[in-house]
Homo-oligomer: A and B are copies of this chain.
């Protein structure tokens, strides 16, 4: 009896996933391809898809099947099946409580708010975006209300959406410890007379950049037979294991940005592509959460991509493509350019040291927005004040300040902390990896990145959602999530570079 119900459940989950993947592709297309005046049409399409998605995912038959499978504490199910049922229940409860009309409204708003944000950022005019942000915030509260949540539970609900099990209270001490350790490091680097100088790289040909980033990401393992890379205003990784769509962007003043954002998204893409395709849509074929996802992108971008060994292998090809002799930039200068640390108002253009301060800023503001301490109207000023406090600089305008990120336009509150958690998890995993694979970096120098990928495939990717973030990290590293490995790693990498 349970066996046949389980089969039906899994088929339904695949079906839901298939429909979600269509919406995912339409959303990828919206950011990559959509003509500027086609936004209204897309908003209507997304709203209709959201309605159909909701109808599938809130189908009462799911409650019936889940009830059967959960009977007697899930007896007769094996561990994998129990994991599938548990996550299906979590999803079902999250979705079924939302009225269809609410879901449709949310999808429509998401699309409209995205285009409003695009325009507002372009014109650096916060007033164009503020009403949409207010609506997103109201909807985020309304959503939590359908789960009978109030007070601080509302923000926690949204954090939990991205990183199951985490709350503002569990995150706060991690961030505080990290900040305490970061401040002297940043102070020392900023005060150092040694400065990275990427100026010899400015103006690298676009075609060359595309070629190089494609070669690098292909080489480290991104499977281009079931994935692609395109260009969007805000780099991201969409799609899924069967069709992975990552994006990058080219910024003249930041000549390595396209490369590093591609390696970053490749880290996400490798995680997606490492999930078993046959399990797409069930807990066995889904990522744990955004924190672990981000640990993968960060590890490839930073621990790997900004390392000496990486550059020892790729530098000759880099110089060949761009016809860049060592008279123009020495190897040491190139390496320093790849590890430039400077206080910058834009999160996605900042380095891995100061990046975390950007996240703390957003975490703080989100808490205050949800607490009601801060109004949407006062947000730009609060942003700027906190920017001075944390980064020591005031954004020149709102495009460089409160309007810089896409997330809030999509109603993705509680998402930012995942980035910082990802940095911590990444460093923590890296410690374990370096212990278990002692001559890993020598391999990188020879162009062998496959041992790392195999390790990640086995320990992280193939696991799907069998464990939550906290459990997975503890199981793989033997420790609870902590900022210590990240602080150690950052000190070890950056102090030798910037200490004269």
Seen from chain A, the residues whose Cβ lies within 8 Å of a Cβ on chain B are 15, 18-19, 21-22, 25-26, 29, 33-38, 40-42, 44-45, 48-49, 52, 223-228, 242-244, 277
A36's closest neighbor in chain B, by CB?
A: B225
Q: Which B residues are CB-close (under 8 A) to A33?
A: 228
Q: Which residue of B lies closest to A51 (CB)?
A: B15
Known interface pairs A226-B35, A228-B33; A242-B40 also in contact (CB < 8 Å):
yes
Which listed residue, B22, B29, B225, touches A37 by the CB 8 Å rule? B225
With a cutoff of 8 Å between Cβ atoms, the chain B residues found around residue A29 in the complex are 25, 29
Q: So how many copies of this chain end up in the complex? A: 2
- A277 to B, closest residue via Cβ: B41
B45 touching A21, Cβ below 8 Å = yes
The answer to whether A224 and B35 touch across the interface, beta carbons within 8 angstroms, is yes
Q: Provide the residues of chain B in CB contact with A15, threshold 8 Å.
A: 48
Specify the chain B residue showing the minimal Cβ separation from A16: B48
Of A22, A42, A45, A49, the most chain B CB neighbours within 10 A belong to A22
Kindly list 19 other residue pairs between chains A and B, CB separation below 8 angstroms, not including A25-B45, A35-B244, A41-B277: A15-B48, A18-B44, A18-B45, A18-B48, A21-B45, A22-B22, A22-B26, A22-B49, A25-B26, A34-B243, A35-B224, A35-B226, A35-B227, A37-B223, A37-B226, A38-B226, A38-B243, A41-B243, A42-B243
Q: With contacts A29-B29, A40-B242, A52-B52 known, is A22 near B35, CB below 8 A?
A: no
Closest chain B residue to A230, Cβ basis:
B33
CB pairs A–B below 8 angstroms (27 shown)? A15-B48, A18-B44, A18-B48, A19-B48, A21-B41, A21-B45, A22-B48, A22-B49, A25-B26, A25-B45, A29-B29, A34-B243, A35-B225, A35-B226, A35-B227, A35-B243, A36-B225, A36-B226, A37-B225, A37-B226, A38-B242, A38-B243, A40-B242, A41-B242, A41-B243, A41-B277, A52-B52
Q: Which residues of the other chain, B, contact A42 by a CB distance below 8 angstroms?
A: 243
Chain B residues lying within 8 Å of A49, measured Cβ to Cβ, are 22
Q: Which residues of B lie under 8 Å from residue A227 when comparing CB positions?
A: 35, 38
Docked complex Cα distance between A25 and B277 (Å)? 23
From A47, which residue of chain B is reached at the shortest CB distance? B18
- C-alpha spacing A33/B277, complex, angstroms: 20
CB-nearest residue of chain B relative to A34? B243
Docked complex Cα distance between A49 and B48 (Å): 12
